């Protein structure tokens, strides 16, 4: 049994006059502790599939399972979601933002400050707990969003283009930080991205989807020697260019 199982997922959006099929017969398994990416042309349903995995809404057909149990309200807390925007509350301090999920889940108040401080230390922002979001750069705010996601100790993180609004230098730094942190915490992760290089640099496998409707077209295994490197160093490796070209040609063939 795999850690995350996506079984026979079909999804359509319905209006008064028509039904639009966005996902067709998606089947995939993800191992515990694995980092995978979803890529594909616009309209291939990547974010829709991520939302279904998160349990934000039900698919038209099919099921998603974590550790053999169907996703439902009772096990949604196993899933963390990190988006393109950080959605930090501007009127709360960084420490309060990091622990907001713990408060919602009514975890013990005694451990909140310790958890926040430990996570802020982990992401390289040890002295910003009393600051407010407006005092931080975009890259720093996304680091805080990562800490907030990790604070509730989810088993799987869903990352929906979390670096796309950042400048290139911040993006590269945050890629390294996310991979290093998730490995340290032994978390499973699914990244949705339009950036082939980012998918190769961060992932163990890359799932390529075709569009209209979205189907799983091909799965690329990233070589072990690249998986052992930081995302920044992956981009410098001789094997990187060949994998990039292979995925690019396959993506181009989808039109």
- Identify the structural domains of the chain with CATH numbers, from first to last: 4-195+216-241 (3.40.50.300)
Q: What is the pLDDT of residue 23?
A: 95
Quick one: DSSP state of residue 177? H
Residue among 184, 152, 151, 190 at smallest CA distance from 66: 190
pLDDT at 127: 86
Per-residue model confidence (pLDDT) at position 111: 65
Strand pairing partners for 114?
Answer: none
Beta-strand relationship, 156-160 and 61-66: unpaired
pLDDT tens digits along 197-248: 999 999 999 999 999 899 999 999 999 999 999 999 999 999 999 999 999 9
pLDDT of residue 101: 79
Which residue from 197, 110, 181, 98 is spatially nearest to 189, judged by alpha carbons?
181
* Alpha-carbon gap, residue 176 to 230, rounded angstroms: 6
Q: What angle do CA 88, 90, 95 make, to 5 degrees?
A: 65
**Cα–Cα separations (whole angstroms), residue 22 to 12, 42, 136, 146, 216:** 5, 11, 38, 29, 12
The angle formed by the CA atoms of residues 156, 173 and 30, to the nearest 5 degrees, is 25
pLDDT at 24: 94
- Tracing tokens 């409707």 back to the chain, one arrives at 213
pLDDT of residue 110: 59
| Spans of the chain below 50 pLDDT | none
What is the C-alpha to C-alpha distance for residues 209 and 1, in angstroms, rounded to an integer?
Answer: 24
Q: How far apart are CA 141 and CA 136, in angstroms?
A: 6
Give the closest residue to 26 by CA, choosing from 52, 55, 57, 54.
Answer: 52
pTM score of the predicted model: 0.90
What pLDDT, on the 0 to 100 scale, is given for residue 248? 96
């Amino acid at each position: 049994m795999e850690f995350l199982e996506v079984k026979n997922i079909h999804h359509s959006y319905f209006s008064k006059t028509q039904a639009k099929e966005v996902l067709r017969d998606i089947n995939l398994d993800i191992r515990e502790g694995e980092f995978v990416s979803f890529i594909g042309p616009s309209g291939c349903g990547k974010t829709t599939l991520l939302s279904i995995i998160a349990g934000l809404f039900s698919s038209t057909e099919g099921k998603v399972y974590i550790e053999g149990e169907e996703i439902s309200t009772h096990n949604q807390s196993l899933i963390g979601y990190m988006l393109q925007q950080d959605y930090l509350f501007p009127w709360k301090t960084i420490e309060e933002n990091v622990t907001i999920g713990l408060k919602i889940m009514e975890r013990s108040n005694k451990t909140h400050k310790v958890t926040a401080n430990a996570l802020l230390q982990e992401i390289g922002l040890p002295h910003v707990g009393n600051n407010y979001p407006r005092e931080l750069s975009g890259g720093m705010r996304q680091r805080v969003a990562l800490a907030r996601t990790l604070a509730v100790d989810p088993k799987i993180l869903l990352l929906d283009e979390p670096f796309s609004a950042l400048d290139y230098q911040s993006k590269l730094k945050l890629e390294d930080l996310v991979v290093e942190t998730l490995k340290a915490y032994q978390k499973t992760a699914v990244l949705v991205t339009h950036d082939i290089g980012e998918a190769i640099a961060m992932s163990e496998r890359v799932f390529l989807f075709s569009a209209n409707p979205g189907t799983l077209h091909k799965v690329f295994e990233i070589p072990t020697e690249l998986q052992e490197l930081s995302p920044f160093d992956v981009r410098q490796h001789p094997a990187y260019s060949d994998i990039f070209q292979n995925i690019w040609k396959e993506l181009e063939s989808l039109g």
